[in-house]
Amino acid sequence: MTQPCTTLHPGIAIPPVNRVTGNRWWIYQKERFPLATHAVAIVAFSFAAVGYSTLARSSSSLPGWRGVFVAFSTSFLFFLQLRLADEFKDFEEDCRYRPYRPVPRGLIQLRELAVLLAGCVVLQLLLALWLAKRLIPFLVVVWFYLLLMSHEFFVRNWLKRHAIAYLVTHMVIMPLIFLFASACDWAVAGYSVAPRGLLWMAAANFFNGMVIEFGRKIRAPENEEDGVETYSLLWGRRKAVLAWLGAMAATTIVALVAARAIHFSVVVAASMLGMLLISAATGSAFLSRNQPGREKWIEAVSAVWTLAVYLSLGVVPVLLRHYGGRL
């Protein structure tokens, strides 16, 4: 088991911790994996995956509740596993630079997170078995990639020196999770390969992941932290904002291709264009105005952008088709 922070770095002052179990876990989720915030985003992600799949295979029915439930529950656990894996791989860096986080300060122990991680795996397996055994290979692929990510693909030092390679390799998990979630519809329905358009939707998730990643790692100069490699610190604020907008532009391109496959291009184009204009204005304001907390604008718009993609490509067209609208 990994040594505590006080052993690795004796100079670190760890604040006192309330050891009440329920309170500890509530504090942990609030600081590291806010349940309400993540649940909203993952509901949209999961419904969009299953919903887009029903549209791509020309079904006019609403997605089955079991498929949506398994897609949501398993995806939620995947994203929780990503957070838990980060706690292990970043432990020493957190001890050195971010001792205020829950694990370095002793609020939660790594061995407790290991039990939680194992519990997630068991739950995911049971959910897949409950819905359809055909989902297990998709599950194993995501687990395997997550394992590679947790060990930084065994080239940690090289990836740390190459920010773009680090970003790309870590974003591949997004389309893999999406493909599992979508398989809760098409694989369960008996398809041996994904319906037309789904791979473009998976690509949209790849670039959406980049939007979120850039959005949470662009900061004003006064809010940069020692040991935290933000894109604004690595590339400068202007280049980081341009990369953020570039990821949005790439998402727009592949989203429009995905929209053509379900005959919903006009609404998606209007939605993406509107969000691009809002994002460009937000990026410009971030660069030009000296206001406290202005990086929160970037992060907030990133979250809204992601929801807009999922709503316009999965949720809205499914509801329109089912309730008699035209696509």
What distance in Å separates the CA atoms of residue 327 and residue 325, rounded to the nearest whole number? 7
| The two structure tokens encoding residue 249 | 């532009």
Q: Are residues 172 and 238 in the same domain?
A: no
Looking at the structure, do residues 241 and 127 belong to the same domain, yes or no? no
Determine the pLDDT at residue 1: 42
User: Is residue 115 located within the same domain as residue 229?
Assistant: no
* Residues 5 and 136 occupy one common structural domain: yes
Number of structural domains, the chain? 2
Q: Are residues 147 and 264 in the same domain?
A: no
Instruction: Give residue 225's pLDDT band: very low, low, confident or very high (50, 70, 90).
Output: confident
Task: Assess whether pLDDT exceeds 50 at residue 190.
Answer: yes
If asked whether residues 179 and 256 sit together in one domain, one would say no
Domain final residue pick, 193, 212, 247: 193
Domain stop point among 138, 162, 193 = 193
pLDDT at residue 10 in the model: 52
Q: Indicate if 226 and 278 belong to the same structural domain.
A: yes
At residue 254, does pLDDT exceed 80? yes
Model confidence pLDDT, tens digit, residues 294-310: 788 999 999 999 999 99
C-beta pairs of 159-166 under 8 Å, 24+ apart in sequence: 160/229, 163/229, 163/231, 163/234, 163/235
Listed in sequence order, the residues at least 6 apart from 248 whose beta carbon sits closer than 8 Å to its beta carbon are 207, 211, 275, 276, 279, 305
User: Is the same domain home to 239 and 99?
Assistant: no
| Distance, CA of 85 to CA of 87 (rounded, Å) | 5
The residue among 132, 164, 193 that closes a domain is: 193
User: Residue 215 belongs to a domain with what CATH number?
Assistant: 1.20.120
Q: What is the mean pLDDT of residues 17-24?
A: 63
Among the listed residues 275, 215, 206, 264, the one whose alpha carbon sits nearest the alpha carbon of residue 240: 215
Owning domain of residue 94: 1-10+20-193
Q: What is the pLDDT of residues 52-71, one digit of tens each?
A: 999 999 887 888 899 999 99
Kindly report the CATH number assigned to the domain that includes residue 148.
1.10.357.140
15 located within any domain: no
